[in-house]
Amino acid sequence: MTSRLQQLHEAGQAVWLDFVDRKFLKADGLKKLVAEDGLTGVTSNPSIFEKAMGSGEAYDEGFNAFLGKADASVTDTYEAQAIADIQGAADDLRPVYDRLDGRDGYVSLEVSPYLANDTDATIAEARRLWAAVDRPNLMVKVPGTDAGTPAIRRLIANGININVTLLFSQDAYQAVAEAFIAGLEKRVKEGAPIDRIASVASFFVSRIDAQIDKAIDTRMEAGDPEADALKAIRGKVAIANAKLAYVHYQELIAGDRWQALAAKGAMPQRLLWASTGTKDPAYPDTLYIDTLIGRDTVNTMPPKTMDAFRDHGTVAETLTGDIEGARHVLAEARRLGLDLGQVTADLVGSGVTQFADAADQLLGAVAGKRNAFLGDRLNGMTAQLPASLDKAVEARLETARADAWSRRLWAGDAGLWTGGDEAKWLGWLAAAKGEQVDQAALATFGEKARSYKDAVLLGMGGSSLGPEVLSLILGSAAGSPKLHVLDTTDPGQIATVLAAIDPAGTLFIVSSKSGSTMEPELLRAFFFEKAGGQGAHFVAVTDPGSHLEKTAARDGFAAVFAGDPAIGGRYSVLSAFGMVPAAAMGIDVAAFYTATAPMVFACGPDAPPAANPGVRLGAILGEAAAIGRDKLTIVPSAGLAPFGAWLEQLIAESTGKQGKGIVPVDLEPVGTPESYGTDRVFVHLHLAGDEDDGLETKLKALAAAGHPLVSISVASRELIGQEFFRWEIATAVAGAVIGIDPFNQPDVEDAKIATRKLVDAYEKSGALEPETPLYEDAEIAIFAAGDASLAPTDPVAILSARLAGLGAGDYLGILAYVERDAAHEAAIARIRTAIRDARAVATVAGFGPRFLHSTGQAYKGGPATGMFIEVTRDPDPDLAIPHHRASFGTVQLAQARGDLDVLAARGQRVLRIHLKHGDLARLETLVTAALNA
């Protein structure tokens, strides 16, 4: 006796299997169905693959081949397995395809559900899959959405077999049938063959009943007066809808237009009944098979439904029976106000979402496996968060998944942020893959640089902090120059570098994106003169067309390396701005990108938020800020200590604006739980092999006391590039959570203008505008920028009155316009600790003018919780600037004053303490006295 399924085949209906799975294929399950049940096709969809691959180990062997590659994306990893399954299934069905001469024997693979609303991307993806699977009996599944329909026409015209999926309404079916015919007609016009192009139109059945029945049940439960009429059509609408689609099909193939194509050998686009597993357990499990049997159709069945039909299905030509009854059912549905049009429209949308959700789940699972497999090659991250924050983070990750944040970030969708010009600032994504720089040119440059003992980089903010991290964490290769970074106007610091080098035999890297920043321009002029005007010892890194580019040409620089104007300074370290100095230090740039790649791919567009280390971190930072934990406290192990200076700029300048944002706290010694308020998030960056120094214990105590703690582990220094990228993604995402544009810096300009005004006035008059101190003696002068709340008493009283204003959630900043050296750093750290422990407030510190191009944005534009002590001193000795009346010391003072004015104008609480002899010990004594007052 032939099986019931085979009898279906005899009745003219093809039986396909709505299922794929590696184990099943390996066990020859498909071959068995072909042999025993006359099976002639297979369909897959994202949910089917999610079930197959999303859990368990069946695919691990296949995954491993990809997981080992640092630069394989999650999609590559998953897709290779899906393609292998589809190829396997296609090969199992190949004898059927050959026997039936291409009339059947197909296997379907669906384009990414993420592309359902993008015609061109769908076309490109379908072509790619067609080529990758490389089997004549493949059908590419394309959704019959508004965007999918034109893609179907073009793909058919390309000669690609298409399974149109997610069809629910008559209108959509008619549109795709038209697209199919038009595609074939186009080929005819072009003289291309049409006899081997197969297509099916997958009409989804059970999902319609599930929706309509739900509406019916709700109304019946509410005691609808039409209860009987409603009940009479329960479970009948989807079948009626399918029957009428078949009526349309029959009319279509009887028409002249189709007959003309048929005469040329065209195969009709068969109707395929999909979604035929019953969703309502009250229905017979073979309902959507028994009722839809008709010639030249396909029914794709999940295994359970197939087993049920084999066991107790009924074979009879039912599809063409009682068409009037079907019309009546639909007319009744209309009369009863059951809006089939709306239901089918909604089902298209929810169908796309459902498959996208499945794809997210699958990609998330693969991403998790991938990250685990990479082990130490991918920097690790764990988080211990208080329960409420943890909940908020997970909720954010889920909405971010549903709203496709990972993909939208990479696609440059400005709607993720403020809908402004954010898309223009995403060049750093490609740069991280090494695509911005000319790696060969950098290698040559690195070779040439070996003739120098020292290299000095002149630049500010994003143009200096990344290179400094690279030099302090990676260091120069043997035989390559040592890199000194000068991002200051402090005469002492400039003199220190000058004394450490032979200026006539040093490589100078002048680095400025805009090419018009004051500090590098003054430093360039200074060192150009010291180097005897040897332009050949200078290179510039700058964006195309800048003023610096012109200067470099004028002065005969050895090279100009171009940046990408689509990258802001603080996101530029993985572009020329980091890699030119890296090459100068003899760092192998190609190897650096290779080491960075695992994080770039782990944070890729296809890694859903929860499994994406950058997006996850961004969600933590953003949600923490939202509950007032806006002080990101950076706690590195010794080997990673320099990283914080780069991170500070990224976080502060990106998020600190419009009164919102995150205030980074770097280099603040770790304290006990009592020394902190409830405004902190701690991030521990640990380099394997670094001494613990009791840090772990201290951090454990903080986490136990309810402070959020993020722990990042870095297996070796060479992996530092991964942290650059992770934090760039995290910052962009935190910006999205906070609701600001993370790529602009609206408040930096004002301080620059204020400074320029003071310097210009000096150039004319030879003196800075006079100012009146609140207090002055032989050692110090105190200025309060017109703050009338402070009385001109003694210094301890003034400072103590100022510090008394520090409350919960506030932070104290020491803005020191002095040389950045170890002694000053230590003194400032002591002052910070004293204030932090006495007031339980966060403390930050910056050396001026370096911080102006970094954290300065947040201090001015971020949360209005800052209180600042600006420290200046009389420059001694000072340094002249060629062609300028103002010295470096004067410029630095003007910068401090400009900054003070702008901070005060923004309503921030600020005090300037001028230490005439630059003695920070005096400040320490003052602070101690003020805290005890």
Ligand X SMILES: O=C[C@H](O)[C@H](O)COP(=O)(O)O
Report the distance separating Cα 514 and Cα 853, nearest Å.
13
Of the candidates 304, 245, 250, the one whose C-alpha atom is nearest the C-alpha of residue 279 is: 304
Report the distance separating Cα 351 and Cα 345, nearest Å.
10
Residue 517: name its binding partner from ligand X, ligand F6P, none (Cβ under 5 to 8 Å by kind): ligand F6P
460 binds ligand F6P (CB under 6 A): yes
684 CB burial (10 A radius; 0-12, 13-18, 19+): buried
CB of 517 to ligand F6P, least distance (A): 3
Mapped onto helix, strand or coil, the DSSP state of residue 507 is strand
Which among 22-30, 243-251, 514-522, 868-876 is the span making contact with ligand F6P, rule CB under 6 A? 514-522
CB of 751 to ligand F6P, least distance (A): 8
Residue 512: name its binding partner from ligand F6P, ligand X, none (Cβ under 5 to 8 Å by kind): ligand F6P
CB of 608 to ligand X, least distance (A): 21
Name the residue whose CB lies closest to ligand F6P.
Answer: 569
The per-residue DSSP string of 160-174 comes to --EEEEEE-SHHHHH
Residues 6+ apart with CB under 8 A from 342: none
517 binds ligand F6P (CB under 6 A): yes
- Would you say 168 or 538 has its CB closer to ligand F6P? 538
Q: Binding to ligand X (CB under 6 A): which residues in 654-713?
A: none
Maximum Cα interatomic distance, the chain, rounded to a whole number of Å: 113
491 alpha-carbon distance from chain centroid = 41
Q: Binding to ligand X (CB under 6 A): which residues in 11-30?
A: 18
Residues 6+ apart with CB under 8 A from 615: 397, 400, 405, 406, 409, 603, 607, 609, 729, 730, 733
**377 close to 722: Cβ distance less than 8 angstroms:** no
299 binds ligand X (CB under 6 A): no
Question: Hey, what are 825's tokens?
Answer: 């750093």
Number of residues that bind ligand X (CB under 6 A): 13
CB of 418 to ligand F6P, least distance (A): 18
Q: Which of 105, 461, 721, 875 binds ligand F6P (CB under 6 A)?
A: 461
Which among 202-210, 240-248, 334-342, 880-888 is the span making contact with ligand X, rule CB under 6 A? 202-210
CB of 110 to ligand X, least distance (A): 7
40 binds ligand X (CB under 6 A): no
Residue 45: name its binding partner from ligand X, ligand F6P, none (Cβ under 5 to 8 Å by kind): ligand X
Report the distance separating Cα 353 and Cα 824, nearest Å.
57
Residues 6+ apart with CB under 8 A from 5: 15, 37, 38, 39, 306, 309, 310, 313
300 binds ligand X (CB under 6 A): yes
Of the candidates 915, 820, 932, the one whose C-alpha atom is nearest the C-alpha of residue 869 is: 915
**751 close to 902: Cβ distance less than 8 angstroms:** yes
Residue 875: name its binding partner from ligand F6P, ligand X, none (Cβ under 5 to 8 Å by kind): none
- Would you say 90 or 736 has its CB closer to ligand X? 90
- Would you say 524 or 853 has its CB closer to ligand F6P? 853
Report the distance separating Cα 217 and Cα 211, nearest Å.
10
731 binds ligand F6P (CB under 6 A): no
Q: Which of 236, 401, 524, 570 binds ligand F6P (CB under 6 A)?
A: 570
CB of 511 to ligand X, least distance (A): 54
Which among 115-123, 303-311, 507-515, 591-599 is the span making contact with ligand F6P, rule CB under 6 A? 507-515
Q: Binding to ligand X (CB under 6 A): which residues in 560-579?
A: none
CB of 30 to ligand X, least distance (A): 16
**519 close to 849: Cβ distance less than 8 angstroms:** yes
Question: Hey, what are 435's tokens?
Answer: 């695509």
Number of residues that bind ligand F6P (CB under 6 A): 15
Q: Binding to ligand X (CB under 6 A): which residues in 261-280?
A: 274-275, 277
297 alpha-carbon distance from chain centroid = 44
CB of 406 to ligand X, least distance (A): 25
Q: Which residues are registered as beta bridge partners of 682?
A: 633, 709
872 alpha-carbon distance from chain centroid = 41
Q: Which of 569, 604, 614, 875 binds ligand F6P (CB under 6 A)?
A: 569
Question: Hey, what are 707's tokens?
Answer: 């402070």
Report the distance separating Cα 618 and Cα 630, nearest Å.
13
Name the residue whose CB lies closest to ligand X.
Answer: 275
- Would you say 300 or 551 has its CB closer to ligand X? 300
Question: Hey, what are 333's tokens?
Answer: 């549905």
Handedness of CA 560, 564, 568, 571 (dihedral sign): negative
Report the distance separating Cα 607 and Cα 132, nearest Å.
22
CB of 594 to ligand F6P, least distance (A): 27
43 binds ligand X (CB under 6 A): yes
Known catalytic membership, residue 141? yes
CB of 163 to ligand X, least distance (A): 7
- Would you say 570 or 909 has its CB closer to ligand F6P? 570
Which among 171-179, 511-519, 623-631, 887-895 is the span making contact with ligand F6P, rule CB under 6 A? 511-519
The per-residue DSSP string of 196-242 comes to T--EEEEEE-HHHHHHHHHHHHHHHHTT-TTHHHHHHTTTTHHHHHH
CB of 561 to ligand F6P, least distance (A): 13
Residue 528: name its binding partner from ligand X, ligand F6P, none (Cβ under 5 to 8 Å by kind): none
- Would you say 275 or 489 has its CB closer to ligand X? 275
Residue 277: name its binding partner from ligand X, ligand F6P, none (Cβ under 5 to 8 Å by kind): ligand X
Of the candidates 901, 261, 380, 330, the one whose C-alpha atom is nearest the C-alpha of residue 688 is: 380
- Would you say 176 or 460 has its CB closer to ligand F6P? 460
Q: Which residues are registered as beta bridge partners of 750?
A: none
513 binds ligand F6P (CB under 6 A): yes
202 binds ligand X (CB under 6 A): yes
From 26, 51, 69, 141, active-site residue: 141
462 binds ligand F6P (CB under 6 A): yes
Residue 534: name its binding partner from ligand X, ligand F6P, none (Cβ under 5 to 8 Å by kind): none
- Would you say 145 or 511 has its CB closer to ligand F6P? 511
112 binds ligand X (CB under 6 A): no
567 binds ligand F6P (CB under 6 A): no
514 binds ligand F6P (CB under 6 A): yes
Question: Hey, what are 320's tokens?
Answer: 């063409």
CB of 43 to ligand X, least distance (A): 4
Residue 542, Ramachandran bin (φ over 0: left; ψ between -120 and 50: alpha; else beta): beta
**613 close to 381: Cβ distance less than 8 angstroms:** yes
- Would you say 492 or 569 has its CB closer to ligand F6P? 569
Residue 375, Ramachandran bin (φ over 0: left; ψ between -120 and 50: alpha; else beta): left
Report the distance separating Cα 875 and Cα 407, nearest Å.
52
Tally DSSP H helices, then E strands, for the chain.
37, 24
* C-alpha distances out from residue 504 to 534, 535, 630, 883, Å: 8, 11, 47, 20
Question: Hey, what are 577's tokens?
Answer: 């701005």
Residue 870: name its binding partner from ligand F6P, ligand X, none (Cβ under 5 to 8 Å by kind): none
Residue 887: name its binding partner from ligand X, ligand F6P, none (Cβ under 5 to 8 Å by kind): none
Q: Indicate which residues carry an active-site annotation.
A: 141
Sites of contact with ligand X (CB under 6 A): 18, 43, 45, 47, 165, 202, 204, 206-207, 274-275, 277, 300
Sites of contact with ligand F6P (CB under 6 A): 460-463, 512-514, 517, 520, 569-570, 653, 745, 748, 853
